[in-house]
């Protein structure tokens, strides 16, 4: 299992996350698209996972509503997957959310992203629903985890 360093980073480090995002996801996004999504959001959390000095993964999230923290994106570079880095990111998010008095973490995942579905279930998330994504014409599985259990 990898022993990544997980750092909380500010908006001044958003370009690091944008670069990671664009190596993992399609279509690519620019920094401004992330800043637009953050507008009006409370308690934005950005994490970067590093192996040595190299950024290899990230997390983005924000308050969805009082007591519920929304995990918007997790990502790990392909060459670093299956080493426990996503688990470390998820555990860091849980710890941060507890410290900030959130009761629930929620995220959505496309059905074809099997490794993330498996990780969520192994981390004791519950499937609480499905949502049709009109942009990608695919189902999103909605997960929640009660942080007080």
Q: What percentage of the chain reaches a pLDDT higher than 70?
A: 99
- pLDDT confidence bin for 41, thresholds 50/70/90: very high
Q: Which helix (H) or strand (E) holds 86?
A: helix 85-99
Q: What percentage of the chain reaches a pLDDT higher than 90?
A: 88
- Residue identified by tokens 């909605």 is 142
Enumerate the β-bridge partners of residue 5.
50
What's the structural domain count of the chain? 1
Q: Is the peptide bond before 27 cis (omega within 30 degrees of 0)?
A: yes
Tokens for 103, please give them: 């009761």
CA torsion angle 102 108 109 110 (round to 10): 180
User: Residue 34's closest CA among 47, 48, 21?
Assistant: 21
- Residue identified by tokens 């990502």 is 75
Q: Is 80 exceeded by the pLDDT of residue 47?
A: yes
Tell me the residue range of the domain where 77 lies. 5-146
- pLDDT confidence bin for 112, thresholds 50/70/90: confident
Alpha carbons 58 and 75: distance in angstroms, whole number? 5
Q: Is 80 exceeded by the pLDDT of residue 2?
A: no
What's 59's domain CATH number?
3.40.630.30
């Amino acid at each position: 299992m990898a022993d990544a360093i997980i750092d909380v980073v500010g908006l001044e480090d958003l370009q690091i996350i944008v670069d990671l995002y664009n190596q993992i996801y399609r279509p690519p996004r620019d920094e401004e698209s992330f800043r637009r999504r953050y507008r009006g959001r409370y308690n934005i959390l950005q994490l970067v996972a590093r192996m040595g000095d190299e950024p290899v993964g990230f997390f983005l999230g924000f308050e969805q509503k009082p007591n519920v923290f929304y995990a918007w994106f997790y990502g790990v570079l392909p060459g670093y997957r299956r080493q426990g880095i996503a688990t470390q990111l998820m555990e860091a998010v849980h710890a941060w959310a507890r410290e900030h008095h959130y009761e629930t973490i929620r995220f959505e995942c496309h059905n074809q992203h099997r490794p993330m579905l498996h990780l969520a279930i192994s981390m004791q998330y519950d499937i609480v629903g499905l949502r049709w994504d009109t942009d990608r014409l695919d189902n999103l599985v909605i997960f929640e985890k009660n942080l007080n259990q």
